[in-house]
Each structure stands twice: as C-alpha cells, then as structure tokens.
Copies of this chain bind each other. A is one copy, B any other.
Amino acid sequence: MEYTVQKLARLAGISSRTLRYYDEIGILKPARISSSGYRIYAQAEVDRLQQILFFRELGLSLERIKDIINTPSFDELRALKEHREKLLEKRAQLDLLIANVNKTIAVNEGSITMTDKEKFAGFKQKLIDDNEKTYGKEIRAKYGDEKINQSNERLMGMNEKQYAKWEELGLRVIESLKKAVATGDPAGELAQMTADLHRQWLIYTWDSYSKEAHAGLAQMYVADERFAAFYNEKQAGGAEFLRDAILIYTGTNK
C-alpha cells in the first residue's frame, strides 16, 4: 500500500503540512518521489510515523524523537525520565500560577460581592474595626488619633475598584518580598522595589506620607509580634527583612 501526503495525513490524523515539515527536518522522508515530484510513502514510513506520533503524544520534542528512532542504542529510558522531570517541573510551576491566579480572583471577587452597597459598607466597617483592634493602639500611641481616623476615613471613601487595587497591591508586596528575601540584600534593587511597593500600598490609606512614619511602621513590624507573625508567615524572616529594606529606602538607617 502506497500513500500520497494527504492520504497518509488523513490516516494518521495530522495535516499534510506536518508531513512536509517532517520531510524537511529529516525525521520522516518518503519512500520515494514519483516522476511528477509527489511524495510517496510505504508501509515502513507508516510504521515510523506511528512511532513518531507516539512519542510526540508523550510531549517529546521532534529533535528528541529523532534521536530515539534514529539511534538504536539511544537510552530511551533515560530520555523519558529526564522528560518526566521536565513535565513535573512544568506542573509545579503551573500549580503555582493557578494558585496565584486564584488568589487574585478571590481578591477581585471580594470587590464584586461588595458591589452590594450594604455589604460593602459593612465589610469595610468590619475591616476598620479589625484594623483598630489589632493595630489601633500602636499606631495611635505613635502617631496619635488623628492619623488613624484619617486612615479609616480614607478606607471608607474607597470604591470597590480602588479597594480591589489596594488588596492586589498588598499581594504584590508579599510576592515581591519573597523574591527580595531570596536575594538576601535589603539594599538591593528588588528589596528597594518592595519597599516602594509598600509605600504605594500605604498611601492608599494614609493621606500624608512621611519617611519617618514609614520607617516607624517598619520598626513596628519587627517589634510587634502580630505584625511580625503576618509577614513571617508569608516568608521566613520577612518582617525583619522588610524593616531593613524600608529603613534603607527611607534613608533613616544612618
């Protein structure tokens, strides 16, 4: 039985272009060329194609497949195991991606369910209460009632979109912090970028930004175990690292 490109292509469920490509890269050449220049494939080529498609389904690159079917002594098993490692890595990365996308969606969803005005107001009020309960005393002690009242007012004044952005920014601070900690250098560019992100996050609820207040908060991140726990939960040593980065960022470390 002999096949032209399209016949073989239909048999195997691929396109004729693919067969021409396989010819071009030398992984599957036709048995012969007809007098009119047509590619003619025979049984041996059908078998070879089956092998190629089999490995292709396993996700191996054509280059790799070429090695495997051209070299009888090729260590197929090792190639497969290496390939599996790559696939597992890919999946781990994908899992991370999906988790991050989920987080981001959750934040956005939060802003959507808040479209209901009542709920939205209630949610923010709760957040302000929590905020006050948790950090109120320290901030009040350091910067007075005026600042925290302003901060709460600002929080109340945010619309859903702004609020979502604020939470997203919070997530980005965490993400950025993780990478920065990995560098180990709080004066490095990544750490300083993180400090800047943190500043951007702050000014959503602070009506006036000052280096001193920023630096003061940084100190508190380490001194107060509730703050420290929050950042250290995300990344070991996160609170101290963030403090150092902010002190350098605000120039208050000299």
Query: Which residues of chain A have a CB within 8 Å of any CB of chain B?
Result: 10-13, 46-47, 50, 54, 57-59, 76-77, 80-81, 83-84, 87-88, 90-91, 94-95, 97-98, 100-102, 104-105, 108-109, 112, 168, 172, 175, 179, 189-190, 193, 196-197, 200
- Is B189 within 8 A of A104, CB to CB? no
Given contacts A94-B87, A94-B94, A190-B13, contact A108 B76 (CB under 8 A): yes
Q: Which residues of B contact A95 (CB under 8 A)?
A: 91
Q: Which residues of B contact A76 (CB under 8 A)?
A: 108
Q: Whose C-beta in chain B lies nearest to the C-beta of A83?
A: B101
- Is A189 within 8 A of B11, CB to CB? yes
- Is A172 within 8 A of B80, CB to CB? no
- Is B80 within 8 A of A90, CB to CB? no
Given contacts A97-B58, A200-B47, contact A105 B80 (CB under 8 A): yes
Q: Which residues of B contact A12 (CB under 8 A)?
A: 193
Q: Whose C-beta in chain B lies nearest to the C-beta of A176?
A: B50
- Is B84 within 8 A of A98, CB to CB? yes
Most buried by B among A46, A87, A102: A87
List 7 additional A-B contacts (Cβ < 8 Å) besides A50-B172, A57-B97. Answer: A12-B193, A13-B190, A50-B193, A54-B175, A84-B98, A84-B105, A87-B98
A179 to B57 Cα, complex, angstroms: 13
A98 to B81 Cα, complex, angstroms: 10
Q: Which residues of B contact A112 (CB under 8 A)?
A: 77
Q: Which residues of B contact A190 (CB under 8 A)?
A: 13
Q: Which residues of B contact A94 (CB under 8 A)?
A: 87, 90-91, 94
Q: Which residues of B contact A77 (CB under 8 A)?
A: 105, 108-109, 112
- Is A91 within 8 A of B84, CB to CB? no
User: How near does chain B come to A41, taking the closest CB pair, in angstroms?
Assistant: 14
A204 to B121 Cα, complex, angstroms: 74
